[in-house]
Amino acid sequence: MSLLWFVGLWVIALVVVKISHWWYQWSNPKSNGKLPPGSMGFPIIGETFDYFKPHGFYEISPFIKKKMLRYGPLFRTNILGVKTVVSTDMDVNLDILRHENKYFSLSYPDGLTKPLGKDSFFFKTGNIHKHIKHISMRLLGSENLKRKIIKDMDCVTQEHLSLKAKQQRFDVKDAVSNLITSHLTPKVISNLKPETQSKLIKNFNAFSFDWFRTSYKLSAVRGLYNTLWACKDGMQMMKDIYARRKTSREKYDDFLETTLEELEKEGSLVNEDVIVCLIFTLCCITQDTTSKATCMAVKFVSENPKVLAELKREHEAILASREDKQGGVTWEEYRHKMTFTNMVINESLRLTNLAPMMFRKVVQDKLTIFCANISTPGYTIPAGWIVMVIPSVVHLDSEIYENPFEFNPWRWEGKELRSGSKTFMVFGAGVRQCAGSEFARLQISIFLHHLVTTYDFSLSKDCEVVRAPGSQASARVARNPETWPKREEVARMTEKVWRCDQSQQLQQNRTGHSQRLRL
């Protein structure tokens, strides 16, 4: 009996030693130099759950803040089972993004890449990514926006707002998603049958990354299923459309024709699968991110009467100086007469932080990172580790932006409004600066133009915004505000959850016909 006890105790002691050794190795990863300080959390899951916890809109993530106070602007952790160094330093962030393809390569968690597929241009690197981005700019670049898109964007925005005004209750995010796909899809593929176009648009609008940002919740399973289904069905439709166009040899003035011409060029770096994925991805991402940005801009403007008044003044001046009173927004007006509008957009994007983190993988062994805010000579990050760049912390830094949680467009007065910097990375930086940034600015500007010049509106219900790594956005409009039932809406916003019963009261100015709406 004593022998059994001895053997049992010996086995237990051995197991404890093995577990302790494993845990020690997990908590103290090997490196040929000095790793950034930090903690790795529990084995396998790391600190994933702490990182993904929701928090108040007007505060930095408690997880990030706690780590920064303890370890500084650079620290190590483990998120989603991956050894990670988090950077919240603006100089380090810019250096990392500028040195992609040299010291770093793009690398996102597997779960994020699956819906779009390995052929998505978002996950291509080097010369292939550069070439694909050049193709993308043929659709979303300033020249094409000016020549082919702005007129239809303006008309469709007016029409959709008018239709929603008659309903007197609508979801702002969904409304903007629908109007974007309505005017953009014909520019991408111009010869679709109505039923085919409708089905394709439905797949575009069903796409969202929100499921990933709430991937620790069971509710994310449905979002993942919807996204995967939309991608699978949408990609197959795109392949069929592409095959028919290639077989017919008919010429059309659309983006699909542009991609076919690129494929036929000698030495092309892309194939049919990449082109099909590119077209589907551009349509999905463009409507998803731009609609969320527009939704938050409307919210901020609604809550700030002084901002709304100045915005109205600027756009009413544009109407007064317009030669063609029945015409829409022109490129000249957008580029040269909407200064305050761009200040509003910048401030809204700064607070919203639609791209709260960016992932890069270290590809050079013994890479040393230096941080001006740290006295140490430098930290060594082993090859294969992920560096998570978090520009949102910089956007909310009180040393850079006075009263950073205050919506104050005037802080941008006299500053460059269209280019990014180490203190303003809402569209990324380096070789991966967002190809659709000008498209997003144009769509938000036109939406705000027609909203403030056609309607009077006011926020009549409290609205709480909660930041979280995953979110959804909505704004509803009710025909009868007095009898509309109270409810909690969860807003689909990247990096935040908008839980609110938010309403707006609008009156149409031009016709004198009064309408009450809730956004």
Alpha helices in 217-271 (DSSP H): 220-248, 255-264
- Is 515 within 8 Å of 506 (Cβ atoms)? yes
Q: By three-state DSSP, how is residue 52 classified?
A: coil
Counted residue by residue, the chain has a size of: 519
Q: Which residues pair with 232 in a beta bridge?
A: none
For β-strands 82-87 and 386-389, DSSP reports them as parallel
Backbone angles phi, psi at 362, to 5 degrees: -75, 125
Lookup: tokens for 351: 């607070």
- Is 409 within 8 Å of 308 (Cβ atoms)? no
231 annotated as ligand-binding: no
Lookup: tokens for 50: 């702490």
Torsion sign (Cα): 56, 62, 64, 69: positive
* Residue 187 one-letter amino acid: K
Torsion sign (Cα): 88, 91, 94, 98: negative
Lookup: tokens for 419: 């280019």
d(CA 340, CA 449): 12
Q: Which residues are annotated as part of the binding site?
A: 434
Q: Which residues are annotated as part of the binding site for heme?
A: 434
